[in-house]
Amino acid sequence: MTLAINQLMEDVKLLNVEELQELNTFVVGRIRHERSNAARRMKRELFIGSRVQFEDGRGNTIQGSIAKIMRKFAKVNSNGDTWRVPIGVLQKVA
C-alpha cells in the first residue's frame, strides 16, 4: 500500500491547479462518504443505555451512556453532564 501512495504523491506533483482542484473535490467526497458510512454502522450498533466513549474538544476521553439517539447526534450522559455528540465520533465501550 505504501508504494502505491508514494507513486500517487509523485503523480500529483505533475497536475496543474484545475486538476488539483478536481482531485481535491473527489478526495473530500470520498472522505465524507466513508465517514457517513461509519456513522451509519455505529448508529445501528447503538441503543439507549449503550456504554460509549469519545474525545471532547480538549482531547480528554469522556465515557458515558446513550440517553437519546437522533439522526446525526446522540445525547450521552457522563457524570451528571449531558453531551450532544456526533454519532460518527462515538466508540462503543465493552
Q: 29-82: per-residue pLDDT in tens? A: 999 999 889 889 999 999 999 999 999 989 999 999 999 999 899 999 999 999
Name the β-bridge partners of 85.
Answer: 74
Domain chopping of the chain, boundaries = 2-92
Note the CATH number of domain 2-92: 2.30.30.140
Q: What is the pTM of this model?
A: 0.69
